[in-house]
Amino acid sequence: KGGVSAHVLLTLDPKMQDRAMAAVKGLPEATAAYTVSGAHDAIVMLTAETSAHLDEVLTRIGKFPGVNRTTSAILLSTLFERA
């Protein structure tokens, strides 16, 4: 699996959460999404072809109605991974 991957924490408007997540789900770069506890509402796993492509996807997500804030962690290397 090539490309650039990131985990993106989303802070959502509660009244528009469904709309925001439907928009995220429509992105081919979004491979998974989960609700989370704590200061954020969801985490989205993204995979893009290049860092420039990832930057463009993050910009798009930030503009979706209902997305108040994004916080991204770009994955640099794999320490271990279980199937």
pTM of the predicted protein model: 0.91
pLDDT at 1: 53
Per the CB < 8 A criterion, the answer to whether 66 and 38 are in contact is no
pLDDT at 2: 72
Using one digit for the tens of pLDDT, what is the confidence trace for 36-56?
A: 999 999 999 999 999 999 999
Structure tokens belonging to residue 28: 């081919």
Q: Return the HEC string of 36-64.
A: CCCCCCEEEEEEECCHHHHHHHHHHHHHC
pLDDT at 64: 98
